[in-house]
Chains A and B, each alone.
Chain A
Amino acid sequence: MQENRTRYPSYDVLNEKDQWDEHTREIVIKRLGPFPKNKFLKEHEAEMIYAIARHVVYDQRKEILDYVVHHLDNTLSSPMGENQRKVGTPEQKILVRRGLKATDNLAKEQYGAPFLKIDVQQQFSILDDLARGKAMTSEDWQGIPQKEFFKKLATEIVNAYYSHPTVWSEIGYGGPAYPRGYVRVEMGLTDPWEAKRDAKES
C-alpha cells in the first residue's frame, strides 16, 4: 500500500513555500505541528479519534494523524456554528462525545474489549456498521444517530487530512498559488514547479 501511495514520489509542495503569500504560508506551516494541548477532547477521546482516523483516511502516519486530531479538537472547541445539523441530531460536541462513548461500549459488547483494544478488522467492522447506521443499538445510542455521528467525524477527519501538505504532495496538487498563479493551464502543460509523474509510469 505504501509503495503506491503516490504517482509523484519526487514532488514536495513545501519546496514552493517561499512562493506563497505570508498569510497562507503561516496557516499551512502550522499544520506540521507542534500542536497545543487539546482543549475539548479528553485523552481517551483523542486516542479514539486517532484510531478512527486511520481507517477513514487509510493512512497510519503519526505526523498527519496528530494534525487531524488537533483539527477535531479545534473544531469542537470553537464557538463557530456547524453549518447544518439534521433535525434530531444533537450539537456536535454532544454528538461526538456521546458517540465515542457509545462506540467504545459497542466494542466491549461485541468483541469484549474497548475500541482501542480490539483488532483493526474489528474496528473497521464497527465503523462500517456505524457508517450505514446499522450497528447494534443500545441505550447509549438514544438520541445519537449513528450515521450522523460517523459522518461528522469522517468529514472533519477528511477536512484536516486533505489540508496537510504531505498529502497534497502525494496527490500531485499544486497547493497555494498566490501570488504566482498558473501560466500553463492547457491540457498536457504544467508550470515548471508543478508535480511531475515518475518517468517510469505511463
Chain B
Amino acid sequence: MPKSHDFVKHNCDHYDGHCYDHLDKRKYGDEADICIVGAGAAGGVLAYGLSRAGFKVVAIEAGPFWNPQTDFASDELSMQSLAWNDTRLVAGNDPLAMGHNNSGRGVGGGTVHFTGVFYRFHESDFKVKTLDGVADDWPITYQDLDPYYEKIERDIAVSGPKHFPWGPFQGPYPYPEREPISANAEVFRKGCEKLGIRSVVAPLAINSGPFDGRPPCINRGFCNQGCKPNAKFSTLIHHIPKAIGQGAEVLSDCMVTQVHVDKAGKVTGVTFVHDGKEFFQKAKIIILAGYCIETPRLLMHSACPLFPNGLANSSGMVGKALMTHSGHDVYCKFHDEVRIYKGTPVLAATQEFYETDLSRGFVRGYTLNAHGSRPLGLAKNLVSKAGNWGEKLYDIMRDFNFYAQVTLVGEVLPSLNNSVTLSDEKDEYGMPRPLVTFSYGENDNKLIAHGVGKAQEILEAIGGEPAFVIPDTGHLLGACRMGNDPSNSVVDGFCRSHDIPNLYICSASVFVTSGGGNPTETVMAIAARTADYIVEEARKNSY
C-alpha cells in the first residue's frame, strides 16, 4: 500500500496490469480508434463494449484509479475525496450542492460512491410532452432500451424482487432480492402496508449472492463511501477491468481540457493534463462521458472559429435544461431504536406515486426509498441544508438511533433557465469554472410537498412522529439533451452530436427529462445502445 495518499496527485496509468507514472508509453499514443472522456457509469460500459468489438479504445479519466482495498475506508469524512471536489460556482433560487452529493471523480465515476439503487425508467418517461403536455419527448422509447436494460441487469447480476409491480418490467431480477432487510426498510414496508401502498425490496446493483468472483454484501452500510468488499457493482471493478482485458487503455489522473476540431469540422483528438503537463490524444471518434457539468463545460471551452459558441452547440442547448431529482429526506422519530446506520442504505421502496395523477395538482411523480444514513451525512445535512446548529443539532443527533428515514426521488421538469455556463473565474487548468444555476419550478415544488407528505404518512402509520425534513437533491441529468430536431437538441437518439459526425456525448447529460427514479440503469442502457450503434456504423462506413 502506498504510504501517503495524495488524492490530488495519485498517479497511475494502467493497462494490461502495468502501472506507469509517466505517459511516454501509452498504448495508443499514436492514435486510438475511440477516445472516451470520463470513465464513469457510461464511460465504463462504452469502453468495455467497444474494446470487445475490436476497437482501440482509450478512456481518459480526470481522477485516480482507485484500489478499494487500500484507498477506501469505512469512514465518511475521509471518503469525501471520492467526489468531484473542484469548486463549481452555484446560483439560482435553489443553488445545488455539488461534490459528494452528485459527482464522482476517478475511475468508476459516480458509481464508486453511488447507493446502487437500480431502476428502469417507465414508458411514460420517454413521452412526457405527448402525455402531459410539458417538457419534451425523448427521441427514443422504452422499447428501444428494453433489451439493454435486460442485458445490463444480467451482466451485473442486479438483485431484486420476483415481482416488481410498477412499469413495464415486472421482474424477476437475475439475482434474488436481499434478505434480511434493515430495520429502517422494515419500518417503511410496514407503514406502506398499513396504508395499502405497495412496496418492494429495492432492486440493487449489489450482490445478493456471490457473482463474478465478488462476494455478497455484508451490510456495512458504507455504499456512499465506496464498497470495500466489492459487493456493490461499480464500473471501477466491473466494466473497466474487463475493458482493459479486451485491450482498452485507461489513463487516470488525466484531465481533458480541450477537444480539437479540424477544418472540415470533425474532431481530431483531445488535450489532457497529467501532473501539470499537457499531452495530446489523437482519435477517430471521441465520446464525451463526463457527466452533466464537465461535459458542457468542455464543449463550451473548446469553442473555435468554426464553432464559436462551443462544439455541438448550434442549437444553443449545450448547458441548458440541467436537471436534478428533488431528494428531500424525511425523518420520523420512533420509540424504539431503528439504527439507520446499519445495512445497505436503501433496501425498500415504492413507486406507487410515479405516474401522473392530475388529482394531485401536478404532473409526473416520484419514488420513495427507505434510506439509511451515517452520522456525518445526517449532521452535515442538518447544518448545511436545514440550518440546525447548537443545542438543536445536538438534541437531534443524540437520538440518532431513533429516527427512520425516507428519501424522495422526485421528477424535476426541465427548464431552460437551469443551466451550466462558463464563469469568469479560472480553475487550476486555466479553464473557466462552471457556473451552475438552478431553481425549482412550480410543478417541482408541488410534487415535493406531496412526496414529503406521503413519506411522513407512511412513517406515522406505524407510530413515527414527524421530526424534520432536509431539503436535498440527488443526481444530475441533462445539459446536453438528445432529440430528433438539431435546432433544439445536442445529440440524436444514439448520442451522436448533430453538428459533428465523429463526436458523441454519452452520459446522464443526454437525458431529456429526469424521470422519477434513480437514473443510472438508464444511463448504462443508453451507453450500451450507443456502443452497439458505433459498432454497427463502423461496419457500414468508415469515418
A interface residues (Cβ-Cβ under 8 A, vs B): 4-7, 20-21, 23-24, 27-28, 55-59, 79-87, 91, 124, 131, 151, 154-155, 158-163, 167-168, 170-183, 185-190, 194-195, 197
Contacts and interface: CB of A to CB of B under 8 A. Distances in A.
A53 to B, nearest CB: 10
Given A87-B90, A158-B380, A186 B186 contact: yes
Nearest to B71: A23
A159 B77 contact: yes
Contacts of B73: 21, 23-24, 27, 176
A79 to B, nearest CB: 6
A81 B222 contact: no
By secondary structure, the A interface counts as: loop
Contact of B218 (A4, A82, A181): A181
A44 to B, nearest CB: 23
A178 B222 contact: yes
Contacts of B83: 83
Nearest to B398: A171
B229 interface: yes
B383 A158 contact: yes
Given A159-B77, A171-B401, A186-B186, A83 B100 contact: yes
Given A27-B73, A178-B229, A186-B181, A158 B393 contact: yes
Interface stretch (B142-150, B315-323, B334-342, B524-532): B334-342
Nearest to B347: A185
Nearest to A187: B183
- Size class of B's contact patch? 35 or more
A159 B221 contact: no
Contacts of B393: 56-58, 158
A132 to B, nearest CB: 8
Contact of B8 (A24, A27, A80, A171): A80
Nearest to B227: A178
B1 A185 contact: no
Contacts of A158: 376, 379-380, 382-384, 389, 393
B91 A87 contact: yes
A28 B75 contact: yes
A5 B217 CA distance: 34
Given A23-B70, A185-B182, A168 B375 contact: yes
A13 to B, nearest CB: 11
A182 B218 contact: yes
B533 interface: no
B501 interface: no
A173 B75 contact: no
B168 to A, nearest CB: 32
Interface of B: 1, 7-8, 70-78, 81, 83-91, 95-101, 180-183, 186-187, 217-222, 228-229, 336-339, 341-343, 374-376, 379-380, 382-384, 387, 389-391, 393-394, 397-401, 423, 427-428, 435-436
A74 to B, nearest CB: 11
Nearest to A78: B8
B337 A159 contact: no
Nearest to A20: B74
A82 B101 CA distance: 13
A79 B8 contact: yes
B336 A188 contact: yes
A154 B381 CA distance: 11
A194 B342 CA distance: 11
Contacts of B423: 87
Contact of B389 (A154, A172, A174): A154
A8 to B, nearest CB: 9
A143 to B, nearest CB: 14
A178 to B, nearest CB: 5
B219 A172 contact: no
A173 B90 contact: no
14 contacts: A7-B401, A23-B71, A28-B75, A84-B90, A86-B91, A87-B91, A124-B390, A131-B389, A159-B376, A174-B341, A178-B228, A180-B220, A182-B343, A185-B342
A159 B181 contact: no
Contacts of A91: 87
Contacts of B374: 173
Given A173-B400, A187-B187, A178 B74 contact: yes
B398 A86 contact: no
B220 A178 contact: yes
- Shortest 8 CB-CB contacts between residues of A and residues of B: A181-B218, A83-B99, A176-B74, A81-B86, A177-B220, A58-B394, A81-B87, A187-B183
A186 B180 contact: yes
A32 to B, nearest CB: 14
A163 B338 CA distance: 21
Contacts of A181: 217-220, 229
Given A56-B389, A185-B343, A188-B183, A84 B98 contact: yes
Given A27-B78, A57-B394, A84 B380 contact: no
Given A155-B380, A185-B180, A185-B181, A85 B89 contact: yes
A149 to B, nearest CB: 13
A171 B91 contact: no
A29 to B, nearest CB: 11
Nearest to A147: B387
Contacts of A160: 77
B187 A5 contact: no
Contacts of A185: 180-183, 219, 342-343
Nearest to B86: A81
Interface centre among B72, B73, B384 (most CB of A within 10 A): B73
A10 B338 CA distance: 19
A159 B75 CA distance: 12
Given A24-B75, A162-B397, A172-B401, A58 B379 contact: no
B376 A163 contact: yes
Contacts of B229: 178-179, 181
Contacts of B379: 158, 161-162
Given A83-B97, A176-B74, A179-B229, A6 B384 contact: no
Given A56-B393, A158-B389, A185-B181, 12 more contacts: A58-B393, A82-B87, A83-B87, A84-B88, A86-B91, A87-B423, A124-B390, A162-B379, A175-B74, A177-B222, A178-B222, A180-B218
